[in-house]
A and B are shown apart, each in its own frame.
Chain A
């Protein structure tokens, strides 16, 4: 199974400041078709997960531009350029290049 390791476990951020979350996979997520199957989700309290970024760096419909994804192979990063109060919650990375699909352990983001 591909292990997804997220860091940090938690993050306390001042509104307006940037934030960054790392996700490392135990195997490359680059498919032979050239696509990389790494996704980022935000789960707000009491809600289902919502997709932020698909295939490393593509913002999903309606996702604010302050969210960006980068990386390749086994190392990936989610960045929030200026954190807002509505960004609190738990962020997860996920790989779907092979079964079983696996998630990172989550990063809890809170506002200072």
Chain B
């Protein structure tokens, strides 16, 4: 059974940094592409980033490119999202997703002074 558990969310000041993690189990993580998708309060879904199974290709939304970095550790079945220079508009629930088929429960990031 696929299980994705996000962690690392919290409250951070504008300009600050946060690192999200997603612990994966129940499937072959090292053979699977992974997404981060976010949802601002009361808003729709917004794709953030994708990493190929071998980390050789990474893709980002224009709104986060240069500030966010997606990475993975296949030895630990863990997906990460390093978020730097955070802005108020980055406030959202962040979900990790197994090639958009399975989703975690999300972790809330609030950027506020």
Interface-facing stretch out of A14-22, A64-72, A100-108: A100-108
In the assembled complex, how far is the CB of residue A45 from the closest CB belonging to chain B, in whole angstroms?
12
Q: Which residues of B contact A105 (CB under 8 A)?
A: 44
8 Å CB interface, B1-52 against A: 35, 37, 44-47, 50
Other-chain contact of A99, B45, B50, B100 (Cβ < 8 Å): B50
**Contact call B100/A102, Cβ cutoff below 8 A:** no
Whether a CB of chain A sits under 8 angstroms from the CB of B68 is no
| A102 touching B106 in the complex, CB below 8 Å, given contacts A51-B100, A54-B101 | no
- Please classify how large the interface on chain A is, using the bins under 10, 10 to 19, 20 to 34, 35 or more: 20 to 34
Instruction: State the CA gap A94–B103 with chains docked (Å).
Output: 14
In the assembled complex, how far is the CB of residue B61 from the closest CB belonging to chain A, in whole angstroms?
5
B93-111 CB contact bits vs A (8 Å, 1 = yes)?
0010000111111100000
**Contact call A94/B50, Cβ cutoff below 8 A:** no
Known: A48-B104, A51-B103. 18 other contacts (CB 8 A): A39-B100, A43-B45, A47-B105, A48-B95, A48-B105, A48-B106, A49-B45, A50-B103, A54-B101, A60-B101, A90-B44, A92-B45, A99-B50, A100-B47, A100-B62, A102-B47, A103-B46, A106-B44
A-B pairs, top 7 by smallest CB distance, nearest first, are A101-B47, A99-B59, A48-B103, A103-B45, A106-B44, A100-B61, A51-B101
Which A residues are closer than 8 A to B by beta carbons?
39, 41, 43, 47-51, 54, 60, 90, 92, 94, 96, 99-106
